[in-house]
Structure 1
Amino acid sequence: MQIVNVMTSDPITIDQHDTLSKAKTIMDEGRFRRLPVMEDGRLVGIVTERDLREFTGYLKSIRVNAAMRTALITITPYNTVEDAACLMLKHKIGGMPIVADGQLVGIVTSSDLLKAFLNVVKATGEIMQR
Protein backbone atom coordinates (compact mmCIF):
# COMPACT_ATOMS: atom_id res chain seq x y z
CA MET A 1 0.00 0.00 0.00
CA GLN A 2 1.39 3.39 -0.96
CA ILE A 3 1.78 6.04 1.72
CA VAL A 4 -0.33 8.45 -0.37
CA ASN A 5 -3.35 6.34 0.66
CA VAL A 6 -2.84 6.92 4.40
CA MET A 7 -1.07 10.28 4.72
CA THR A 8 -2.65 13.56 5.72
CA SER A 9 -2.52 15.76 2.62
CA ASP A 10 -1.70 19.47 2.78
CA PRO A 11 -0.67 19.47 6.45
CA ILE A 12 -0.85 22.57 8.58
CA THR A 13 2.59 24.18 8.80
CA ILE A 14 4.34 26.97 10.63
CA ASP A 15 6.92 29.53 9.54
CA GLN A 16 10.36 29.25 11.10
CA HIS A 17 10.13 32.85 12.36
CA ASP A 18 6.87 32.32 14.28
CA THR A 19 7.00 31.87 18.03
CA LEU A 20 6.87 28.57 19.83
CA SER A 21 3.73 29.89 21.51
CA LYS A 22 2.02 30.01 18.11
CA ALA A 23 3.26 26.49 17.35
CA LYS A 24 1.82 25.21 20.63
CA THR A 25 -1.53 26.88 19.95
CA ILE A 26 -1.72 25.32 16.48
CA MET A 27 -0.80 21.89 17.83
CA ASP A 28 -3.26 22.11 20.72
CA GLU A 29 -6.12 23.25 18.49
CA GLY A 30 -5.38 20.63 15.83
CA ARG A 31 -4.69 17.91 18.40
CA PHE A 32 -1.42 16.82 16.80
CA ARG A 33 2.15 16.54 18.04
CA ARG A 34 4.30 17.82 15.19
CA LEU A 35 4.37 20.67 12.71
CA PRO A 36 6.38 20.94 9.50
CA VAL A 37 8.37 24.19 9.46
CA MET A 38 8.48 26.24 6.28
CA GLU A 39 10.56 29.07 4.87
CA ASP A 40 9.55 30.70 1.58
CA GLY A 41 7.40 27.71 0.64
CA ARG A 42 9.99 25.03 1.29
CA LEU A 43 10.30 22.55 4.13
CA VAL A 44 13.20 23.43 6.45
CA GLY A 45 12.41 21.54 9.64
CA ILE A 46 9.90 20.00 11.99
CA VAL A 47 8.93 21.00 15.51
CA THR A 48 7.40 18.53 17.95
CA GLU A 49 5.69 18.62 21.34
CA ARG A 50 8.93 17.32 22.83
CA ASP A 51 10.82 20.27 21.36
CA LEU A 52 8.30 22.67 22.92
CA ARG A 53 8.64 21.09 26.37
CA GLU A 54 12.33 22.00 26.39
CA PHE A 55 11.35 25.69 26.25
CA THR A 56 8.43 25.70 28.70
CA GLY A 57 8.08 29.17 30.18
CA TYR A 58 9.74 30.84 27.17
CA LEU A 59 7.36 29.91 24.34
CA LYS A 60 6.33 33.52 23.65
CA SER A 61 9.88 34.75 23.24
CA ILE A 62 11.57 31.94 21.30
CA ARG A 63 11.24 31.42 17.56
CA VAL A 64 10.47 28.08 15.98
CA ASN A 65 13.86 27.98 14.23
CA ALA A 66 15.59 27.84 17.63
CA ALA A 67 13.78 24.62 18.58
CA MET A 68 13.05 22.83 15.30
CA ARG A 69 14.86 19.78 14.03
CA THR A 70 16.50 20.24 10.66
CA ALA A 71 17.86 16.74 10.06
CA LEU A 72 14.65 15.56 8.41
CA ILE A 73 13.63 12.04 7.58
CA THR A 74 11.19 12.25 4.65
CA ILE A 75 9.59 9.94 2.11
CA THR A 76 7.65 10.38 -1.12
CA PRO A 77 3.95 9.68 -1.66
CA TYR A 78 4.97 6.66 -3.72
CA ASN A 79 6.84 4.92 -0.94
CA THR A 80 4.96 2.14 0.80
CA VAL A 81 3.43 2.03 4.25
CA GLU A 82 6.08 -0.58 5.05
CA ASP A 83 8.85 1.84 3.99
CA ALA A 84 7.43 4.49 6.30
CA ALA A 85 7.08 2.08 9.22
CA CYS A 86 10.67 0.87 8.81
CA LEU A 87 12.05 4.42 8.71
CA MET A 88 10.00 5.51 11.71
CA LEU A 89 11.14 2.51 13.75
CA LYS A 90 14.76 2.87 12.67
CA HIS A 91 14.90 6.57 13.57
CA LYS A 92 12.53 6.31 16.56
CA ILE A 93 10.20 9.01 15.27
CA GLY A 94 6.42 9.26 15.43
CA GLY A 95 5.84 10.93 12.10
CA MET A 96 7.49 12.36 9.02
CA PRO A 97 6.85 14.74 6.15
CA ILE A 98 5.94 13.49 2.69
CA VAL A 99 7.79 15.36 -0.07
CA ALA A 100 7.28 15.25 -3.84
CA ASP A 101 9.37 17.25 -6.29
CA GLY A 102 10.80 19.27 -3.40
CA GLN A 103 7.35 20.28 -2.12
CA LEU A 104 5.66 19.24 1.12
CA VAL A 105 2.54 17.29 0.13
CA GLY A 106 1.64 15.49 3.33
CA ILE A 107 2.59 14.05 6.67
CA VAL A 108 2.30 10.53 8.04
CA THR A 109 2.22 9.52 11.69
CA SER A 110 2.40 6.27 13.59
CA SER A 111 -1.37 6.61 14.13
CA ASP A 112 -1.88 6.68 10.35
CA LEU A 113 0.19 3.52 9.99
CA LEU A 114 -1.71 1.79 12.76
CA LYS A 115 -5.02 2.63 11.06
CA ALA A 116 -3.68 1.19 7.79
CA PHE A 117 -2.61 -1.97 9.59
CA LEU A 118 -6.05 -2.36 11.17
CA ASN A 119 -7.70 -1.91 7.76
CA VAL A 120 -5.54 -4.68 6.32
CA VAL A 121 -6.31 -6.99 9.25
CA LYS A 122 -10.04 -6.28 8.91
CA ALA A 123 -10.00 -6.88 5.14
CA THR A 124 -8.02 -10.10 5.59
CA GLY A 125 -10.52 -11.30 8.18
CA GLU A 126 -13.42 -10.57 5.84
CA ILE A 127 -11.74 -12.48 3.01
CA MET A 128 -11.06 -15.45 5.29
CA GLN A 129 -14.72 -15.63 6.34
CA ARG A 130 -15.90 -16.10 2.76
Structure 2
Amino acid sequence: MTLQITDIMTPCPNTIESHKCVADAKQLMQIGGIRHLPVVEDGDLVGILSEREVQLAEIVEKAMGGMPRVGDICQKDPHVVFDDTPLAEIASEMAERKIDCALIADKDAGLIGIFTTVDACRCIQVLLES
Protein backbone atom coordinates (compact mmCIF):
# COMPACT_ATOMS: atom_id res chain seq x y z
CA MET A 1 0.00 0.00 0.00
CA THR A 2 1.29 3.43 -0.93
CA LEU A 3 0.51 6.21 1.50
CA GLN A 4 -1.24 9.24 0.04
CA ILE A 5 -1.09 12.73 1.52
CA THR A 6 -4.82 12.49 2.25
CA ASP A 7 -4.11 9.47 4.50
CA ILE A 8 -1.92 11.44 6.90
CA MET A 9 -2.80 15.14 6.56
CA THR A 10 -4.99 16.94 9.06
CA PRO A 11 -8.29 17.34 7.19
CA CYS A 12 -10.32 20.52 6.84
CA PRO A 13 -8.09 22.90 8.76
CA ASN A 14 -9.48 25.90 10.56
CA THR A 15 -8.96 29.19 8.75
CA ILE A 16 -8.92 32.79 9.90
CA GLU A 17 -9.84 35.97 8.05
CA SER A 18 -6.97 38.37 7.34
CA HIS A 19 -8.74 41.28 9.08
CA LYS A 20 -8.96 39.46 12.43
CA CYS A 21 -6.67 40.42 15.28
CA VAL A 22 -3.82 38.18 16.32
CA ALA A 23 -5.51 37.50 19.68
CA ASP A 24 -8.34 35.78 17.76
CA ALA A 25 -5.79 33.62 15.94
CA LYS A 26 -4.07 32.70 19.21
CA GLN A 27 -7.40 31.66 20.70
CA LEU A 28 -8.24 29.49 17.66
CA MET A 29 -4.82 27.85 17.87
CA GLN A 30 -5.18 27.14 21.58
CA ILE A 31 -8.70 25.73 21.26
CA GLY A 32 -7.76 23.55 18.30
CA GLY A 33 -4.35 22.52 19.63
CA ILE A 34 -2.77 23.65 16.36
CA ARG A 35 0.28 25.70 15.34
CA HIS A 36 -0.71 26.87 11.84
CA LEU A 37 -3.75 28.70 10.47
CA PRO A 38 -4.46 29.29 6.80
CA VAL A 39 -5.37 32.96 6.28
CA VAL A 40 -8.24 33.81 3.95
CA GLU A 41 -9.64 37.02 2.53
CA ASP A 42 -13.10 36.94 0.97
CA GLY A 43 -12.79 33.15 0.81
CA ASP A 44 -9.44 33.18 -1.02
CA LEU A 45 -6.27 31.82 0.55
CA VAL A 46 -3.79 34.66 1.11
CA GLY A 47 -1.29 33.27 3.62
CA ILE A 48 -0.42 31.02 6.52
CA LEU A 49 0.00 32.13 10.13
CA SER A 50 2.21 30.14 12.46
CA GLU A 51 2.50 30.11 16.20
CA ARG A 52 5.88 31.86 15.80
CA GLU A 53 4.32 34.90 14.12
CA VAL A 54 1.72 35.07 16.89
CA GLN A 55 4.46 35.03 19.54
CA LEU A 56 6.39 37.77 17.73
CA ALA A 57 3.22 39.87 17.43
CA GLU A 58 2.74 39.63 21.19
CA ILE A 59 6.27 40.94 21.74
CA VAL A 60 5.61 43.82 19.33
CA GLU A 61 2.34 44.58 21.10
CA LYS A 62 4.10 44.84 24.46
CA ALA A 63 6.88 47.01 23.03
CA MET A 64 4.83 49.31 20.82
CA GLY A 65 1.24 48.97 21.96
CA GLY A 66 -1.42 47.71 19.61
CA MET A 67 -1.82 44.26 18.15
CA PRO A 68 -1.37 43.84 14.37
CA ARG A 69 -3.94 42.14 12.17
CA VAL A 70 -3.45 38.57 10.97
CA GLY A 71 -3.04 39.72 7.35
CA ASP A 72 -0.20 42.04 8.36
CA ILE A 73 2.01 39.32 9.83
CA CYS A 74 1.12 36.09 8.03
CA GLN A 75 3.48 34.46 5.54
CA LYS A 76 2.26 35.29 2.05
CA ASP A 77 2.30 32.65 -0.70
CA PRO A 78 1.96 29.56 1.50
CA HIS A 79 3.17 26.23 0.12
CA VAL A 80 0.11 24.63 -1.51
CA VAL A 81 0.06 21.21 -3.16
CA PHE A 82 -2.73 19.18 -4.72
CA ASP A 83 -4.01 16.06 -3.03
CA ASP A 84 -2.68 13.86 -5.85
CA THR A 85 0.92 15.04 -5.36
CA PRO A 86 3.13 12.11 -4.29
CA LEU A 87 3.90 12.15 -0.57
CA ALA A 88 7.63 11.70 -1.23
CA GLU A 89 7.61 14.82 -3.41
CA ILE A 90 5.84 16.86 -0.73
CA ALA A 91 8.23 15.70 2.01
CA SER A 92 11.27 16.33 -0.19
CA GLU A 93 10.18 19.84 -1.07
CA MET A 94 9.34 20.69 2.55
CA ALA A 95 12.78 19.47 3.67
CA GLU A 96 14.59 21.27 0.86
CA ARG A 97 12.78 24.56 1.50
CA LYS A 98 12.84 24.09 5.30
CA ILE A 99 9.12 24.72 5.70
CA ASP A 100 6.90 23.45 8.51
CA CYS A 101 3.71 22.79 6.59
CA ALA A 102 2.03 22.37 3.25
CA LEU A 103 -1.59 23.23 2.56
CA ILE A 104 -3.41 20.50 0.66
CA ALA A 105 -5.93 21.45 -2.02
CA ASP A 106 -8.40 19.49 -4.09
CA LYS A 107 -8.72 20.72 -7.67
CA ASP A 108 -12.49 21.02 -7.22
CA ALA A 109 -13.05 21.71 -3.52
CA GLY A 110 -10.14 24.02 -2.73
CA LEU A 111 -8.39 23.75 0.64
CA ILE A 112 -9.00 20.31 2.17
CA GLY A 113 -6.18 19.85 4.66
CA ILE A 114 -2.79 20.70 6.05
CA PHE A 115 0.31 18.52 6.31
CA THR A 116 2.75 19.51 9.03
CA THR A 117 6.00 18.19 10.42
CA VAL A 118 3.94 16.79 13.31
CA ASP A 119 1.85 14.78 10.81
CA ALA A 120 5.10 13.51 9.26
CA CYS A 121 6.41 12.41 12.67
CA ARG A 122 3.15 10.58 13.42
CA CYS A 123 3.43 8.80 10.08
CA ILE A 124 7.02 7.77 10.79
CA GLN A 125 5.95 6.46 14.21
CA VAL A 126 3.21 4.29 12.68
CA LEU A 127 5.60 2.94 10.04
CA LEU A 128 8.27 2.12 12.63
CA GLU A 129 5.79 0.39 14.93
CA SER A 130 4.31 -1.78 12.18
Q: Where on the TM-score scale, by shorter chain, does this alignment land: which range?
A: 0.7 to 0.9
Per mean C-alpha deviation after superposition, the further-off stretch among 108-117 and 55-64 is 55-64
Q: Secondary structure of 1:55's match? A: helix
Per mean C-alpha deviation after superposition, the further-off stretch among 1-10 and 52-61 is 52-61
Q: How far has the Cα of 1:4 moved from its partner? A: 0.6
Output the aligned Cα RMSD: 1.8
CA distance in 1, matches of 2:102, 2:41: 18
* Ranges in structure 1 where 5+ consecutive residues have no aligned partner: 124-130
Q: Secondary structure of 2:115's match? A: strand
Q: Is the Cα contact below 8 Å between 1:81 and 1:113 reproduced in 2?
A: no
Q: State yes or no: 1:5 paired with 2:7.
A: yes
Equivalent of 2:111 in 92, 96, 104 = 104
Q: State yes or no: 1:45 paired with 2:39.
A: no
Q: How far has the Cα of 1:5 moved from its partner? A: 0.5
Letter in 1 for 2:17: D
1:76 aligned residue: 82
TM-score (norm 2): 0.85
Matches within 5 A, 1:22-33: 22-33=24-35
Q: Is the Cα contact below 8 Å between 1:42 and 1:104 reproduced in 2?
A: no
TM-score (norm 1): 0.85
Q: State yes or no: 1:87 paired with 2:93.
A: yes
Q: Is the Cα contact below 8 Å between 1:74 and 1:97 reproduced in 2?
A: yes
CA distance in 2, matches of 1:106, 1:83: 17
CA distance in 2, matches of 1:114, 1:81: 13
CA distance in 2, matches of 1:87, 1:18: 31
* Ranges in structure 2 where 5+ consecutive residues have no aligned partner: none
Query: In percent, how many aligned pairs have the same letter?
Result: 30
